[in-house]
Amino acid sequence: MIIKVLLGDDHKIMRQGLRALLEKEPDIEVIGEAEDGRMTVRLAEELSPDVVIMDICMPDLNGIEATHQITARLPAVKVVALSMYSDIRFVLSIMKAGASGYLLKDCACDELAQAIRAVTINRTYLSPSIADTMIKDYIHQLQKDDLSVFSVLTAREREVLQLLAEGKTIKEIAAQLYISVKTIETHRQQIMNKLNIHTLPELTKYAVREGLTSL
């Protein structure tokens, strides 16, 4: 199968370089070039490429808007962004617009060819540096928004919650943890206040849902 590719970039020398590199690939054929976003959309409609290589910053119509129009009108066409920008905002914007891949312009030709082949089989392709940035950003956001039992409760409170959920009495927990009954009662009250859960059955359900114990 020959993969038909349309190049969208406002720099002629960039398009020529991409064409020369991609035409060395036996299964890839460049069927057109566009110098701005609006022309890229028009040629995509006329030529029906399998993949559009899309620059983000182009005159008349930027690559993000062009991507949105192409993927809305031609859902079978895949878009791979090829940009000089590694800023996560650009990545997320064009991926939300419907792009299936994002590469930096300093990538090697074999990586571009790999991305083209990947998106044609409905996979998402990101440059390793972009993927690394996105993962770190995602983890950072999770840490900010984390409301799991491991961030809401202390280690001791989680321990007490698990034992309560497993049916242990206050006295049994106190004996097992070598602390006073009063301390366990305080922990139980703090757990309920933090979680806004005030019955043992609901605490048990929460502990199971959060993976502290099993039924």
- pLDDT, tens digit, 9 for 90 and up, residues 14-30: 999 999 999 999 999 99
Question: At 138, is the pLDDT very low, low, confident or very high (cuts 50, 70, 90)?
Answer: low
Task: Give me the CATH number covering residue 53.
Answer: 3.40.50.2300
Q: Phi and psi at residue 119, in whole multiples of 5°? A: -70, -25
- Do residues 21 and 109 make contact, with C-beta atoms less than 8 angstroms apart? yes
Q: Is the pLDDT of residue 182 over 90?
A: yes
Q: Is the pLDDT of residue 94 over 90?
A: yes
Indicate if 44 and 96 belong to the same structural domain.
yes
Q: Give the structural domain span for 83.
A: 3-129
Indicate if 55 and 112 belong to the same structural domain.
yes
Indicate if 123 and 199 belong to the same structural domain.
no
Total of domains in the chain: 2
Nearest-angstrom CA–CA distance, 204 and 210: 10
- Tell which of 129, 159, 185 closes a domain: 129
Question: At 215, is the pLDDT very low, low, confident or very high (cuts 50, 70, 90)?
Answer: low
Q: Which of 4-13, 123-132, 154-163, 195-204 has the lowest mean pLDDT?
A: 123-132
- Do residues 71 and 79 make contact, with C-beta atoms less than 8 angstroms apart? yes
Residue 38 within a domain:
yes
